[in-house]
Amino acid sequence: MAGRSNVGKSSLLNRLARSHHLARTGRMPGKTTLANLYEIGTGGYFLDLPGYGYMQRGRDEATDSRAIAGRLLRRLGNISRMLLLVDSRRDILESDLQALSWFLSMGLPVSVVITKSDKLNRQEQSRIKMDWMAVLSRNPGVDLTPILVSSKNGDGMDLLSAKVSESLYG
Ligand code: GDP
């Protein structure tokens, strides 16, 4: 799971933890952030990557986060799916597109998860979904349909949970 700081990653992880019995097993230190590793009851692992929204704080930190994430991903190897979290209230950000290309260039299957759907009305939800579908259709190796979720009201959690289970257990 990856996403910019403040995208709603911790909140989503907390909700997912309830349905997938996650228990944190390791923390990997970075300069300003940590990647957390969670063990899933039946033997899989769930990796929470450091946020990548540090561009505005300084190039070194951005490079640092990416280097840590790259090392981790290479070391862990067998990653069944990357969930890329993006904020529903923002237009598609360059940093999200860069993250998407980066994960795809490593050969990781990616699903885009649009967070905080409760902040949008139906029409706005469809718009952001369509905007992302247009981007995703240009990228092979990625799920064409983004998953719209809210950690606040639980919308989309069943779909996301099913995606996580499918990725872990086939
Ligand atoms: P992280 O930095 O990506 O781990 O983000 P957090 O989970 O800490 O959330 C950042 C902020 O967004 C907090 O104020 C949360 O309460 C809020 N937030 C997270 N998820 C949702 C959501 O689904 N709906 C709404 N309305 N707010 C959310």
Ligand 1 pocket check for 36: Cβ under 6 Å: no
Report the atom number in ligand 1 closest to the C-alpha of 153: 23
Does 28 have pLDDT greater than 90?
no
Helix extents (H) in the chain: 9-20, 59-76, 94-105, 122-136, 157-169
Report the atom number in ligand 1 closest to the C-alpha of 14: 7
Ligand 1 pocket check for 150: Cβ under 6 Å: yes
C-alpha distances in Å from residue 170, one per residue of 25, 81, 159, 166, 167: 23, 11, 15, 5, 6
User: What are the backbone angles phi and psi of residue 168, rounded to the nearest 5°?
Assistant: -80, -40
Ligand 1 pocket check for 160: Cβ under 6 Å: no
DSSP one-letter code for 118 = G
Rg (CA), the chain: 15
SS3 (DSSP) at 99: helix
In the structure encoding, which two tokens stand for residue 102, read together? Answer: 């980066």
Beta-carbon count within 10 A of 43 CB: 8
Q: Which residues contact 56 (CB under 8 A, 6 or more apart)?
A: none
* Whole-number pLDDT of residue 61: 59
Ligand 1 pocket check for 25: Cβ under 6 Å: no
CATH code of domain 2-169: 3.40.50.300
- From the CA of 96, how far away is ligand 1's center (Å)? 17
Ligand 1 pocket check for 71: Cβ under 6 Å: no
pLDDT interval class at 63 (50, 70, 90): low
* Whole-number pLDDT of residue 157: 94
pLDDT interval class at 123 (50, 70, 90): very high
- Taking a C-beta distance cutoff of 8 angstroms, is the pair 49, 10 a contact? no
ipTM over 0.85: yes
Report the atom number in ligand 1 closest to the C-alpha of 13: 7
Q: What is the pLDDT of residues 125-145, one digit of tens each?
A: 999 999 999 999 998 878 889
Domain range annotation of the chain: 2-169
Ligand 1 pocket check for 5: Cβ under 6 Å: yes
Q: What is the pLDDT of residues 94-117, one digit of tens each?
A: 889 988 988 888 888 899 999 999
How does the average pLDDT of the chain come out, rounded?
81
